Amino acid sequence: MSVQNQPRIIGLTGSIGMGKSTIAEMFASAGVPVFDADAEVRAMQVPQGDLLEAIEAAFPGSTGPAGVDRDALGQQVFADPEALARLEAIMHPAVAQKRETFLSENSGTSLVVFDIPLLFEKGGHSLVDHIVVVSAPADVQRARVLARPHMTTEKFEHILSLQMPDAEKRAQADFVIDTSCTLAETQTQVERLIETLAGKTL
């Protein structure tokens, strides 16, 4: 939670394919600094990335000249809860450290966003002041995800089963942004939300 001289923190989350990354970009273009947990994960998995060695040690053969082979590692860990927990134990403390650095770099700002896909699942909701859940009807979500390369119905359904159901996320949200409308309409929802939160006292 924010303390004096710390920015107010918006926790931005949502299940696979709901439009969270798109909304995060809208916050960033409105001038609100965004901490992107997924981008930090990816940055630590490229060649020379901070965690390449640790990942190779835990998952032999999962890295190469192009860094972590995310498709292959994804297939392995999404199929095996113990392996996923092992990967998370490597990634999450490192992401937490990057988040602290981001906060100290933005200590003069009034509002920041933590874009964290697994905000509820991993207890990150206790770190933030306002929870924003990005949501869309299940059929819209499914169509978006199945249109992605390397995605199958089985993989989509399995990832969904690892995530808290959308209805539960919405029930715990302070604000819900619906993305089943046009991008322009979503943009308006984001701008209104920033106005609301900028004027709000905790």
Ligand X SMILES: Nc1ncnc2c1ncn2[C@@H]1O[C@H](COP(=O)(O)OP(=O)(O)OP(=O)(O)O)[C@@H](O)[C@H]1O
Residues of this chain that bind ligand X (CB under 6 A)? 14, 16-22, 117, 144, 179, 181-183, 186
How far is residue 85's CA from residue 88's CA, in Å, rounded to a whole number? 5
Residue 98 annotated as lining a ligand binding site: no
Query: Of these partners, ligand X, ligand COD, none, which one is at the site of residue 124 (CB under 5 to 8 Å by kind)?
Result: none
What CA–CA distances, in Å, run from 46 to 35, 49, 97?
18, 5, 18
Do 141 and 23 contact (CB within 8 A), yes or no? no
Residue 44 annotated as lining a ligand binding site: no
Residue 15 annotated as lining a ligand binding site: no
Of 8 and 20, nearer to ligand X (C-beta) is 20
Binding to ligand COD by residue 163, rule CB under 6 A? yes
Q: How far is the CB of 184 from ligand X (least distance, A)?
A: 8
How far is residue 39's CA from residue 6's CA, in Å, rounded to a whole number? 23
Of 158 and 200, nearer to ligand COD (C-beta) is 158
How far is residue 173's CA from residue 148's CA, in Å, rounded to a whole number? 27
Do 87 and 55 contact (CB within 8 A), yes or no? yes
Binding to ligand COD by residue 71, rule CB under 6 A? yes
How far is residue 21's CA from residue 39's CA, in Å, rounded to a whole number? 10
Residues 37, 103, 136, 190: which binds ligand COD (CB under 6 A)?
37
Of 105 and 157, nearer to ligand COD (C-beta) is 157
Binding to ligand COD by residue 39, rule CB under 6 A? no
Binding to ligand COD by residue 118, rule CB under 6 A? yes
Residue 20 annotated as lining a ligand binding site: yes
Name the packing angle between helices 153-162 and 70-78 (round to 10°).
60
98 sits in which H/E element: helix 81-105
Residues 9, 10, 16, 119: which binds ligand COD (CB under 6 A)?
16
Q: How far is the CB of 7 from ligand X (least distance, A)?
A: 22
Do 70 and 45 contact (CB within 8 A), yes or no? yes
| Known binding positions for ATP | 17-22
